[in-house]
Amino acid sequence: MSLNRSACSLRPCLRYRPKATAQLQIQHQLCRYKHGSSSYKSSKKRFHVPEQFIKFKAIRSSGPGGQNVNKVSTCVEARFNIAAATESAILPQDARDRLMQQNPNRINKKGELVVQAQEERTQARNKVIAKDRIDHLVAHALVEPKERNQWTELGEVTKMKRKDLKQHRKVIKSNRKLSRGDWD
């Protein structure tokens, strides 16, 4: 994803201070998403939610798996605290509203985004999958939707072309008519 250098005011700060705080790095990522490419999937660099805002909990996995299911808690439940992220300026208010609107069934009464992962047999892999899902959902909410222009009517050029075509057809049809003198 290309970065619009003139639009990002945080870039010089990160260039001269290689050990910038996590807050500045996250704000720089947000700036990249605002001024960079509009789609999350097409971007090579991804937005990463800091792990301090995510709580992981291991629970028992459901479904087939033999004895491993009964012995090991491989399913990972990740909870992202949206309110804490908004207060610490990691998640802007408009992105928070979009996140809550896009995922109403995944947000509990405490205001946490809850995601589960139980595809893999190990807890570590499921933890990575859950973290990636949260990153994807938050990055998707950071992208501002495009304002769509509703089509209302035909353009002037199209109207003129249609009028000319009708005139042409009128001439062709009028030439087909027989005059009274042609019957003799």
Q: What is the pTM of this model?
A: 0.59
Q: What is the pLDDT of residue 40?
A: 41
Q: What is the pLDDT of residue 39?
A: 43
Q: What is the pLDDT of residues 111-138, one digit of tens each?
A: 999 999 988 888 899 999 999 999 999 9
Q: 68 or 76: whose pLDDT is higher?
A: 76
51 with 37: CB under 8 angstroms?
no
State the pairing for strand pair 75-81/54-59: antiparallel
Per the document, the length of the chain is 184
Mean pLDDT value across residues 151-165: 91
Side by side, the strands of the sheet bearing 54-59 are 54-59, 75-81, 112-117
Q: With a cut of 80, say whether residue 150 has pLDDT above it.
A: yes
**Nearest-angstrom CA–CA distance, 4 and 63:** 47
99 with 141: CB under 8 angstroms?
yes
The DSSP symbol for 107 reads B
Q: What is the pLDDT of residue 156?
A: 92
